[in-house]
């Protein structure tokens, strides 16, 4: 094995433990000199991430979110953590606005790191009880992450985030009680507190949350989420996303990804036909994302189905 290949082996051994990212000090420790670094960058085999860190495994899809966050945090030091939308995405929380590629980091007051293109630094104190480590990456806990997001997101997205975190078990109802103290004294806190009672763990998608809020804002009775209808002949049951069982009215929130394949369309038709057999008087309405941007397209047919003025 040549000296160069031995250096690369040591670099990869280090990178394999941290999402294939290495820092300049780690490269030096592995024996990689400036010429080696320049050669690997020119060939495209290594890619610079944050200042002082490199991605050392080539992939046409580009670096993942975890890789980018790891690169930023390795260059910042142990006091800095992923926060806000970045922490939420790492945790798998849904309902956020479209990702613009910016990494959100939290650093204590006085830390030398500054915001720059692609990285936004939030100056705040992160106590030991509001930080955690997820597969080696330090970030804010789900409770702290949701509290921070409530202060910056619009109502629809804020409640969607809470619903998603609750549904996935990242938050509990008890955790919701821990959010108001984290909001205290911060801009937007009074508004954010009013959104907490709207959270519901039974909402299975941000689209369901948006439709539910539109119904509530439209003055309709609160719907039952995940209404279960038993099929004794088939020995199974069906769930309807939102429903008013006493009126035999239900809503299916059809997200594009889960319902757009030919197999999904066939299953949806078969399921609806079976529901019509089980409950002939059932009115089942279907709404998609575009409908949530024009609430009357949801409220008008729903009021008619519920026989409301």
Q: Are 18 and 37 in contact (CB under 8 A)?
A: no
Q: pLDDT by residue (tens digit) across 174-221? A: 999 999 999 999 999 999 999 999 999 999 999 999 999 999 999 999
Q: What is the mean pLDDT of residues 77-105?
A: 96
Q: What is the pLDDT of residue 1?
A: 42
Q: Within this chain, do residues 193 and 211 fall inside the same structural domain, yes or no?
A: no
Q: Is the pLDDT assigned to residue 307 strictly greater than 80? A: yes
Within-domain flag for 72: no
Q: What is the pLDDT of residue 278?
A: 87
> Residue 49 belongs to what domain range?
3-59
Residue 288 to residue 211: CA distance in whole angstroms: 9
Q: Which of 79-83, 220-224, 250-254, 272-276 has the lowest mean pLDDT?
A: 272-276
Q: Within this chain, do residues 118 and 183 fall inside the same structural domain, yes or no?
A: yes
Query: What angle do helix axes 65-76 and 84-91 make, rounded to 10 degrees?
Result: 130
Q: What is the CATH number of the domain that holds 33?
A: 1.10.10
3-state secondary structure of 124: coil
Q: What is the mean pLDDT of residues 263-289?
A: 82
**Size (the chain), residues:** 309
Residue 85 to residue 104: CA distance in whole angstroms: 7
Of 21, 124, 13, give the one whose Cα is nearest residue 64. Answer: 21
Within-domain flag for 71: no
Q: What is the mean pLDDT of residues 48-59?
A: 87
Question: Into how many domains does the chain fold?
Answer: 3
């Amino acid at each position: 094995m040549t000296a160069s290949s031995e250096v690369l082996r040591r670099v990869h051994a280090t990178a394999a433990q941290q999402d294939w990212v290495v820092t300049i000090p780690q490269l030096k420790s592995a024996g990689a000199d400036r010429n080696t670094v320049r050669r690997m960058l020119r060939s495209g085999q290594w890619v610079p991430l944050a200042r002082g860190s490199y991605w050392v495994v080539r992939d046409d899809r580009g670096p993942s979110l975890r890789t980018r966050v790891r690169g930023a945090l390795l260059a910042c030091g142990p006091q800095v953590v992923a926060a806000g939308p970045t922490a939420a995405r790492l945790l798998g929380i849904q309902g956020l606005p479209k990702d613009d590629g910016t990494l959100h980091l939290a650093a204590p007051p006085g830390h030398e790191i500054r915001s720059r293109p692609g990285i936004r630094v939030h100056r705040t104190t992160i106590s030991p009880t509001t930080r955690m480590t997820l597969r080696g990456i330090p970030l804010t806990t789900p409770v702290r992450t949701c509290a921070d997001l409530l202060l910056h997101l619009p109502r629809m997205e804020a409640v969607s985030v809470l619903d998603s975190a609750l549904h996935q078990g990242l938050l509990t109802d008890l955790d919701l009680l821990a959010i108001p103290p984290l909001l205290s004294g911060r801009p937007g806190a009074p508004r954010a507190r009013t959104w907490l009672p709207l959270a519901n763990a039974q909402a299975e998608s941000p689209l369901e949350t948006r439709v539910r809020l539109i119904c509530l804002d439209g003055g309709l009775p609160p719907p039952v989420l995940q209404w279960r209808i038993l099929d004794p002949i088939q020995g199974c049951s069906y769930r309807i996303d939102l429903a008013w069982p006493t009126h035999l009215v239900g809503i299916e929130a059809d997200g594009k990804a889960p319902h757009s394949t030919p197999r999904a369309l066939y299953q949806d038709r078969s399921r609806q036909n079976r529901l019509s057999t089980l409950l002939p008087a059932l009115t089942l309405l279907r709404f998609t994302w575009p409908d949530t941007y024009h609430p009357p397209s949801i409220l008008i047919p729903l009021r008619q189905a519920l026989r409301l003025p």
